[in-house]
Amino acid sequence: MHIPKEIKNMNREKYFDIKNVKGQAQKIVAEGVANALQYCCDKEPEFEQAIEQSGKSFTDCLNEIVKDVGPSKPGLSDFETYNRAVKFYFSTATVSFVMNIDLCGNNGVEKPITMTETKKDALSISLDDLLDF
């Protein structure tokens, strides 16, 4: 895929600057959202292009994420936070989450103790199956 030169040079440090974020809720999610969106940009140039060409600021994104959150309204899960962030820039995107659980952890045992063995000796759960989206 051809990415225009100006997209390749997006100033992420300036765009995702979290130092001047206003609002308590926005400050709570800012760093995690900035990191997640930059990770997505690293993995998919088209996503970075969508951010660059959207004309929307990172502050606008944070405001949209926390729009329906407050003392009398339910909080946001990390999953919903990242879903809202991605869809703010790329409305057609589908967001899914996967969690890998290694029941043995780092205890020195070579094989898992109480689980079905998989290729990576880890339990894989799709959080989409657990959450009602």
In sign, the C-alpha dihedral spanning 9, 11, 16, 21 is negative
Q: What is the pLDDT along the chain (133 residues), one digit of tens a residue?
A: 444 444 456 889 999 999 989 999 999 999 999 999 999 999 888 889 989 999 999 999 999 999 988 776 777 888 999 999 999 998 888 888 887 777 766 666 665 545 455 555 555 556 555 565 4
Q: pTM score, two decimals?
A: 0.69
pLDDT at residue 5 in the model = 42
The two tokens of residue 77 are 């899960």
Q: How far is CA 63 from CA 41, 60, 130, in A?
A: 20, 5, 27
Pick the closest to residue 75 from 84, 88, 86, 66 (CA basis).
Answer: 66
pLDDT at residue 128 in the model = 59
pLDDT at residue 30 in the model = 95
